[in-house]
């Protein structure tokens, strides 16, 4: 696989002195499903946001094959839909921001809604949707420009388990169909193993990558995989790496 992005020495110190991420070195391969796994507050979201270009690193470099950052679709933990706009118009937003008229955008919007199984809900308003459906709209909005890189920041954390499992499957199906490279943030070992081709395990803040674990099982995956001994084995290995990271000596977390 070719390399899509090269992160070298990426650190982030916030204005209040909090050192959130410290010296990330990472190569992201084209087409992989890479998950940042770590305890709450360890800097996973900060790392993802820097990757997306939503905030600059304090130091370090992010290099992109091809020279510039490709188009990125970003999915937040909350669906962040506009309540006054229909599902269709919510998904239109990234195209509208590029001055693409509604009529010209219609085909892309319909396709994105079909991809997430909401083709029949274009005219509905967010208040009429379940939490899982709102998240699907949010994913459709991120995909409507067909970005080669899709980044999701704990998108399913607020959903019930059945809905989360369904969305896990749908995300893997989408990823496989579109060939998108995916960056995903979670603190669930089980979710990370189910979804990922590779897991970057973070230490507690300041976030550093302390282990990179490949999950070389083919995508997409299914319930059979979730119940398999192979899945359980991977979960044990990842869980042990996370525990080791948690018990490592803490760094100084606030710059003096």
Q: Is residue 182 a contact partner of residue 34, using CB atoms and an 8 Å limit?
A: yes
Least distance CB 40 / ligand ATP (angstroms): 4
Contact 86, 122 (CB under 8 A): yes
Nearer to ligand ATP, 164 or 221 (CB): 164
Residue list 80-109, contact with ligand ATP (CB under 6 A): none
Closer Cβ to ligand ATP, 43 or 147, answer by number: 43
One residue of 13, 18, 176, 188 binding ligand ATP per CB under 6 A = 18
Contact map string, positions 30 to 59, toward ligand ATP, x by CB under 6 A = --------x-xxxxxxx-------------
Tokens of 124: 């509905």
In the complex with ligand ATP, the residue whose CB is nearer, 2 or 16, is: 16
50 vs 172 by CB, closer to ligand ATP: 50
Nearer to ligand ATP (CB atom), residue 93 or residue 157: 157
E strand residue ranges, the chain: 3-13, 19-29, 33-37, 59-64, 72-75, 149-153, 181-186, 198-202, 209-214
Please, are residues 9 and 59 in contact by the beta-carbon 8 Å criterion? yes
* Termini Cα distance of the chain: 42
- Closer to ligand ATP by CB, 30 or 78: give it: 78
CA distance 165 to 33: 17
Could you tell me which of 10, 5, 1 has the C-alpha nearest to residue 202? 10
Tokens of 130: 């379940």
Q: Which x/- pattern over 192-231 shows residues binding ligand ATP (rule: CB under 6 A)?
A: -------------x--------------------------
Smallest separation (angstroms) from ligand ATP to the CB of 254: 9
Supply the minimum distance, in Å, between the C-beta of residue 81 and ligand ATP.
20
Please write down the long-range contacts of 230-236, taking CB distance under 8 Å and 24 or more positions apart: 231/193, 231/194, 234/193, 235/189, 235/190, 235/193
Give me the residue whose beta carbon is nearest to ligand ATP.
45
Is residue 136 involved in binding ligand ATP (CB under 6 A)? no
**Residue 173-192 contact track with ligand ATP, rule CB under 6 A, x = bound:** --------------x-----
DSSP state of 249: P
Helix, strand, coil percentages, rounded to 5, for the chain: 40, 25, 35
Which is nearer to ligand ATP, 158 or 178 (by Cβ)? 158
Q: Name the residues that contact ligand ATP, by CB under 6 A.
A: 14, 16, 18, 20, 38, 40-46, 187, 205
């Amino acid at each position: 696989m070719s390399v899509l992005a090269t992160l070298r020495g990426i650190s982030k110190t916030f204005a209040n002195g909090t050192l959130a991420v410290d010296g990330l070195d990472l190569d992201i391969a084209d087409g992989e499903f890479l998950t940042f796994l770590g305890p709450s507050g360890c800097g996973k979201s900060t790392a993802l946001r820097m990757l997306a270009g939503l905030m600059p690193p304090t130091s370090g470099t992010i290099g992109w094959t091809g020279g510039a950052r490709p188009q990125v679709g970003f999915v937040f933990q909350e669906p962040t839909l506009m309540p006054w706009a229909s599902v269709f118009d919510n998904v239109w937003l990234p195209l509208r921001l590029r001055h693409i008229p509604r009529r010209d955008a219609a085909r892309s919007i319909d396709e994105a809604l079909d991809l997430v199984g909401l083709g029949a809900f274009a005219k509905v308003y967010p208040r009429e949707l379940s939490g899982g459906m709102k998240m699907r709209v949010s994913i459709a909005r991120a995909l409507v420009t067909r970005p080669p890189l899709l980044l999701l920041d704990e998108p399913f954390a607020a959903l019930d388990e059945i809905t989360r499992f369904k969305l896990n499957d749908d995300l893997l199906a989408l990823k496989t169909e579109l060939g998108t490279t995916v960056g995903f943030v979670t603190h669930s070992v089980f979710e990370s193993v189910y979804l990922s081709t590779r897991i970057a395990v973070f230490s507690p803040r300041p976030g550093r990558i302390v282990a990179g674990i490949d999950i070389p099982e083919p995508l997409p995956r299914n319930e059979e995989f979730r119940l398999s001994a192979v899945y359980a084995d991977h979960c044990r290995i990842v869980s042990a790496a996370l525990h080791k990271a948690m018990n490592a000596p803490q760094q100084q977390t606030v710059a003096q």
